[in-house]
Chain A
Amino acid sequence: MLDKAVIEKLEKIVGAENVLTKKADLVAYSYDATADVQKALPDVVVLPSSTAEIQQIMKLANETDTPVYTRGSGTNLSGGCIPLKQGIVLCTQKMNKILEIDPDNLTATVQAGVIVADLNSAVAAHGLIYPPDPGTVATATMGGTVAECAGGLRGLKYGVTKHYVMGMEVVLPTGDVVRFGGKTVKNVTAYDFASLFVGSEGTLGIVTEITAKLIPAPKYKKSMLALYKNLADAGKSVSGIIKAHVIPATLEIMDAMTMETVENYAKVGLPSGYAALLLIEVDGMAKDAVEAEAEAVVKVIKENNGELRVAENDAEREKLWAARRAALPALAQLGNTVVIEDATVPRSRIADMLVELDGIRTKYNVTLGTFGHAGDGNLHPTIMYNCDNKEEAERVHKAVDEIFAAALKFGGTLSGEHGIGIAKMPYLKDELGESGLEMMRTIQKSFDPKNLLNPGKLVPAKEV
């Protein structure tokens, strides 16, 4: 339990109405969107409104050795928000001001608590977009997506969060504030701090302000659906499209299990009897270029025995996307616990990975459906089970172990976009080796020697 004096000081900093200590309130900050990880109640939740308040909170935490867990909307999928060692949950949701939109420089400067979709609505008036679009754009904060380096459906063509952060304001564990980067396209002054803080999962500092890069919104789009009787053909189409030098805005895959479940759940008209489908959208500024790319895609699909459906209008396009959006919620109906992985492989190994996942499903007899961002190699093998059934849970955990091993075997990575958090920390050594872990510890310690920021996440403690 935190000392009463600390709570009183927090109340002085942010106002009593922005300090939550009642148990019923704390329960609501004991989790995030991750299934199958432990929950923990913080001692207190604070909702600051300014960088100056965060500095004071951090100074107080530093003086009293109190852990601080920065939290946006709590939508992450790796257990990153859970206050494992009690202390202070610092929620940025009241810091939700868009400070500036600068169409001349194609930038926006926002407070950390701005919702990604709100930024996109605001810049739409200028014909601009902020491309990173994780599934939770309508709720996730800019600060949270920066801390997790969130990806999304457009990663293949438009990149992920790290490609859109030009500058930041960060409060360090001492309470000091640093600003780096800004509106210049080029900047090699000092270390590349933005790259260090993007994806740091709240372990190095508290991101309070972000200067984000914007791009002109593409004017033309074309969506297509390809159906395959054979999983390998779908995989070959993915690498074929890339090899044909077409970079679609989205290139999504669903396996048979996911297709069937989506159809049962959402009734969007997906046919049965296929092994996989690809959902492809090409976009661009010129109609001719978009048409030409679409033609090239169609050719690859046909060469690989795919059956083609093209969206002829917005309503048809919307139907295709409804199917994709229904993938996770549909699968989630199949068990009371849903583990969504984001193991990622080089694009050329997508077909191998899909076949491997099929094998894992059979070997451990688990309910596993795969969908995801095939174009960037980022699959979402999703396992549904009943967490009250110990024997089943054990099989699931073994299957998960093997999914990670497979991704690494194909030259891939543990996590494409969800982060390490608690959920994937045990596997980190398999990818980075002991020297990699030691490097992480060194970096973390140099910023946060007392290990106050989001302890127990991302950086594995040294085994003794």
Chain B
Amino acid sequence: MSTATATIYDDLALVKEELSRCMKCGNCQAVCPVFITEKTEGGVARGKIALAQAIIDGTIDLDDPDMYEHIFNCLVCKSCMQNCPTKVNFDKIIFALRAAIAKKKGLHPVKKNIFKLLHNYKPLFDLGMRAGGAFQGLFMKQIPSRQGRQLRFPIGILDRKRILPSLSATPFRSQVPEKVTVKNPQATVAFFTGCSINYIYPQFGQDIVTVLKKNNVNVIIPQDQHCCGVAVFAHGDVQTAREMAKANLDALEKTNADYVVFGCGSCASTLSHEYKEMLKGDADYAEKVEKWSKKSIEISTFLMKKIDFRKPEGVVNATVTYHDSCHLKKTMKVFNEPREIIKSIPGVTFKEMSKPDACCGSGGTYNLTHYETSTGILKRKIDDINKTKADVAVTACPGCLIQIIDGIEQFGEGQKGTHYISLLAESYRNEKKNGKK
């Protein structure tokens, strides 16, 4: 570890300056999904800032038995940061709090096991997910006409009502060659799949490759890419997150690609924004992190802004509404391009939902640890989707999608949930049917 100076993730006291920027105005209450659902001040950013200050002042101890619950009752959706008049970087504060508690008391008990698998034991993690793919039928039943599986019996933290996606028997990266080349490429991109596309939604991976091929782009799918690390970082295991970041940067460095593209808002924002934060002060990686952060863009930005986008001509008859992934909209400020792509598809009627950028309640593992609040947040999202009368709800983040599909099954009106890129791929595929190209 070559970090020369201590960061807020190594020493909580250093976050004091960030805390002092909070005027305690309470504007965060208006947009915090946790607060809107629970209506308690401890849930909102202002309450957690007060908690951080109390820890630094010694009014309350990190060992306090309720500390995990409070520090982890946040989706890190960053909605508060969009509404903060003094621009408090609340993400830094919450991550610093989590790093401090992880350092002192260890990881959140529920998550310890999950991250043990992730931590540099890629083959093990892979095996675990694959085994899950093969054996999921034992404890989850496929529901006819539904988009996922329901638990046969409650297992620990998982609520029985939950509809969970099926695990893929063959991960995406095992389904594709490392390089997919086209004649006369416009560009060469590295495709960072992320865990969700690799293990849960390999079809989206295939669709992204299809879309890139149709746009004359060479695709490299580095086989030695890792989990992006946002989950471990968000849970305070900064050391593991740093190692993952470095491993991914090394993998990307070998590709020499023009851009890195993503089909997941969270992975994209992690590589484009959080890696700089995680590796701050690490001289060995300063250059690499600068270079690859800049090159990391979500697929819609790549299609609409970096190349000549080939307009799709195949008809997809659907009324579509789009949910903004928090990390894509609020961190990366990407919201227009996915809509442009959806609207470019012949046959699609686009209907904007009310508050499309309100969090869906997924928050990575938040929906495992805080299922009740998460479901309250989700219900508002599904109500907004229902009001559009759309028959397809799309998003740019597989994490949101798992959540939204669960919500549609519980509160929806039979809408299909999918990735917007799959609609585009379908349109390209339908061109043959329509007798074009």
* B residues less than 8 Å from A33 (CB atoms): 23-26
Stretch of B35-43, B262-270, B309-317 contacting A (4+ beta carbons < 8 Å): B35-43
Any A CB within 8 A of the CB of B60:
yes
Looking at the complex, which one of A47, A139, A338 makes contact with B26 (CB distance below 8 Å)?
A: A139
Chain A residues whose C-beta falls within 8 Å of the C-beta of B30 in the assembled complex = 115, 117, 138-139
- Interface flags, B4-28, vs A, CB<8A=1, else 0: 0000000000000000110111110
In the complex, chain B residues whose CB is within 8 Å of the CB of A91: 39, 41
Contacts of A94 in B (CB 8 A): 39
CB <8 Å contact, B23 and A329: yes
A25, B40: Cβ atoms closer than 8 Å: yes
A224, chain B: closest CB distance, angstroms: 24
Complex alpha-carbon distance, A251 and B50, angstroms: 35
Is residue A93 within 8 Å, beta carbon to beta carbon, of the partner chain? yes
A461 at the interface (CB under 8 A from B): no
Residue-wise, chain A 324-345 has the 8 Å CB interface mask toward B (1 for contact) of: 0110110011001010000000
Chain B residue at smallest Cβ distance from A94: B39
| Number of chain A interface residues as a range | 35 or more
CB pair B24 A32 closer than 8 Å: yes
B131 contacts the other chain (CB 8 A): no
Q: Is B59 an interface residue (CB 8 A)?
A: yes
Contact with B along A95-137 (1 / 0, CB 8 A): 0000000000000000000010100000000000000000110
Within 8 A of A (CB), among B21-71: 21, 23-27, 29-30, 39-42, 44, 46-47, 50-51, 54, 59-60, 64, 66-67, 69-70
In the bound complex, do residue B26 and residue A24 qualify as a contact, i.e. CB atoms below 8 Å apart? Answer: no
Cα–Cα distance between A139 and B27 once the two chains are bound (Å)? 6
Q: How far is the CB of A120 from chain B (nearest CB, A)?
A: 13
| B27 & A24 in contact (Cβ 8 Å cutoff) | no
Residues from chain B with Cβ under 8 Å of A246 in the complex:
none
Q: Any chain B CB within 8 A of the CB of A75?
A: yes
Q: How far is the CA of A332 from the CA of B22 in the complex (A)?
A: 9
Which residues of A5-39 have CB atoms within 8 Å of chain B's CB atoms? 20, 22-25, 27-35
Q: Tell me which residues from 74 to 94 in chain A have a Cβ below 8 Å from any Cβ of chain B.
A: 74-75, 91, 93-94
Q: Decide if B174 is an interface residue (CB 8 Å cutoff).
A: no
* Cβ of B217 to closest chain A Cβ, rounded Å: 37
Among A73, A115, A136, A336, chain B packs the most CB atoms within 10 A around the CB of: A73
Output the least CB separation between A254 and chain B (Å).
16
Contact A23 B66 (CB under 8 A): yes
Query: Taking chain A's interface residues, is the majority helix, strand, or loop, or is none over half, making it mixed?
Result: loop
**Interface contact B29-A73, CB-CB below 8 Å:** yes
> Does B85 interact with chain A (Cβ within 8 Å)?
yes
- Contact with A28, one of B47, B64, B67 (Cβ below 8 angstroms): B47
Nearest CB of A to B405, in Å: 29
B20 touches A336 (CB 8 A): yes
Rounded to whole angstroms, the CA-CA distance of A148 and B42 in the bound complex is: 24
**Bound complex: CA A208 to CA B24 (Å):** 25
Chain A CB within 8 A of B145 CB = no
Q: A23-B64, A94-B39, A332-B86 are in contact. Are A75 and B50 (CB under 8 A)?
A: no
A28 to B21, CA, bound (A): 17
Q: How far is the CB of A204 from chain B (nearest CB, A)?
A: 25
How many angstroms from the CA of A24 to the CA of B53 in the assembled complex?
A: 12
Q: How far is the CB of B47 from chain A (nearest CB, A)?
A: 3
Chain B window 181-224, contacts with chain A (Cβ cutoff 8 Å), 1 for yes, 0 for no: 00000000000000000000000000000000000000000000
- Nearest residue (CB) in A for B41 is A28
Residues of B within 8 A of A27 (CB): 42, 47, 50-51, 54, 59-60
Is B39's CB under 8 angstroms from A24's CB? no
**A-chain residues with CB within 8 Å of residue B23 when the two chains form the complex:** 33, 35, 328-329, 332, 338
Name the contact of A47 in the complex, choosing from B39, B60, B69 (C-beta under 8 A): B39
A22 touches B66 (CB 8 A): yes
Inter-chain contact A31/B27, CB cutoff 8 Å: no
Inter-chain contacts of A34 with B (CB < 8 A): 24
A23 to B85, CA, bound (A): 28
In the bound complex, do residue B86 and residue A329 qualify as a contact, i.e. CB atoms below 8 Å apart? yes
Candidates B26, B40, B51; contact of A75 at CB < 8 Å: B26
Pick from B42, B51, B86: contact of A333, CB below 8 A: B86
Chain A residues within 8 Å of B46, by CB: 28
CB <8 Å contact, A138 and B41? no
Q: How far is the CB of A408 from chain B (nearest CB, A)?
A: 27
B50 touches A31 (CB 8 A): yes
Q: Which of B27, B41, B42 has the largest count of A CB atoms less than 10 A from its CB?
A: B41
Q: Are A24 and B67 interface neighbours, CB within 8 A?
A: yes
A325 to B54, CA, bound (A): 30
Beta-carbon contacts under 8 Å, B54-96 to A = 54, 59-60, 64, 66-67, 69-70, 85-87
B52 to chain A, nearest CB (A): 10
Min CB distance B347 to A, Å, is 34
Residues in chain A near residue B50, CB distance under 8 A? 27-28, 30-31
* Chain B residue contacts of A23, Cβ below 8 A: 60, 64, 66
Residue in contact with B24 in the complex, picked from A20, A25, A35, A325, CB distance below 8 Å:
A35
B70 contact set on A, CB distance < 8 A: 24-25
- Least CB distance, A88 to chain B, in whole angstroms: 15
Residues of A within 8 A of B27 (CB): 136, 138-139
Q: Which residues of A contact B40 (CB under 8 A)?
A: 20, 25, 28, 45, 47
Distance, CA A22 to CA B68, complexed state (A): 13
List A contacts of B54 (CB < 8 A): 27
Q: What is the CA–CA distance of A32 and B40 in the complex, to the nearest angstrom?
A: 14
**Residue contact B21 to A333, C-beta cutoff 8 Å:** yes
Query: How distant is A372 from chain B, measured CB to nearest CB, in Å?
Result: 16
Residues of chain B contacted by A93 (CB below 8 angstroms):
39
Q: List 26 A-B contacts (CB under 8 A).
A: A20-B40, A23-B66, A24-B42, A24-B51, A24-B60, A24-B64, A24-B66, A24-B67, A27-B51, A27-B60, A28-B40, A28-B46, A29-B41, A30-B50, A31-B50, A33-B23, A33-B25, A33-B26, A35-B24, A45-B40, A47-B39, A74-B41, A91-B41, A94-B39, A326-B85, A338-B23
Query: Which residues of A are in contact with B by a Cβ distance under 8 Å?
Result: 20, 22-25, 27-35, 45, 47, 73-75, 91, 93-94, 115, 117, 135-136, 138-139, 325-326, 328-329, 332-333, 336, 338
Nearest first, the 6 closest Cβ-Cβ pairs linking A and B are A28-B47, A329-B85, A28-B41, A336-B20, A28-B42, A138-B30
16 more contacts with CB within 8 A, not counting A24-B60, A332-B85, are: A20-B40, A23-B60, A23-B64, A23-B66, A27-B60, A31-B50, A33-B24, A33-B26, A35-B23, A73-B26, A115-B30, A136-B25, A139-B29, A325-B85, A329-B23, A332-B23
